[in-house]
Amino acid sequence: MELTILNINGKSTGRKVSLNDSIFGIEPNDHAIYLDTKQFMANQRQGTHKAKERGEIAGSTRKIKRQKGTGTARAGSIKNPLFRGGGRIFGPQPRYYGFKLNKKLKQLARKSALSYKASSNNIIVLEDFSFEEPKTKELLKLGNNLNITNKKSLFVLPEQNKNIYLSSRNVQGIEVVTVRRLNTYEIMKASTLVLVESAVDVLHATFEN
């Protein structure tokens, strides 16, 4: 698959780049995408939720009324879960939500997500660029030139670029990641995938290893 390389003005440079069909042209595996996305979202959960059980509630352990003769159910503690202010039955406890996935399955999921973007013509290859200083206005101008202003876009860089990252931090709908941190969830969430030219070679090398 070949794509035309665009410059920062949104115009063709006259050059083309070839995308590897073993990465961008496979038959997508929906279940692999589901599992990888599920793992990514599970890993974002802190899992610090906690409710106190009856043994952790502050309160007297005195028997609050006599056992028989009251006409109501027997009760032995003010910390009974049936009473207001009592402990919670089977409440949430701190836990880790993450789970293991095989490396090959995660790779298949990312390839499937990239293939979906390629098949729907939602990939743009942009020539290498950089900002002398963080400028949100410059990134917004670039978005206008590429006609991605009102779309969720994911810029993929070959390596970390502080000025580009800081320029995007205050722009809604634009995310910037490096090839190393590219994941299935971010690819599927984005409407348009913007690959910086030098990131294509890094992407190919990453999946070949």
Q: Which two tokens stand for residue 159?
A: 């390596």
pLDDT at site 10: 86
The predicted-structure confidence for 23-56, as pLDDT tens digits, reads as follows 999 999 999 999 999 999 999 999 999 999 999 9
pTM (two decimals): 0.84
The predicted-structure confidence for 91-127, as pLDDT tens digits, reads as follows 999 999 999 999 999 999 999 999 999 999 999 999 9
The residue that leads in pLDDT, 1 or 152, is 152
DSSP state of 1: -
Quote the CA–CA distance of 113 and 24 in Å, as a whole number.
Answer: 8
pLDDT higher than threshold 90 for residue 179 = yes
Q: Which amino acid is at 30?
A: D
pLDDT at site 149: 84
pLDDT at site 170: 86
pLDDT at site 155: 95
Task: Please report, for the chain, the start and end positions of each structural domain, with discontinuous segments joined by +.
Answer: 2-46+99-208, 51-91
pLDDT higher than threshold 70 for residue 209 = no
Q: Quick count: other Cβ atoms within 10 Å of Cβ 67?
A: 9
Q: If you average pLDDT over every residue of the chain, what do you get?
A: 92
Architecture of domain 2-46+99-208: 3-Layer(aba) Sandwich (3.40)
Residues in CB range of 59: below 8 A, 6 or more apart: 77, 78, 79, 85
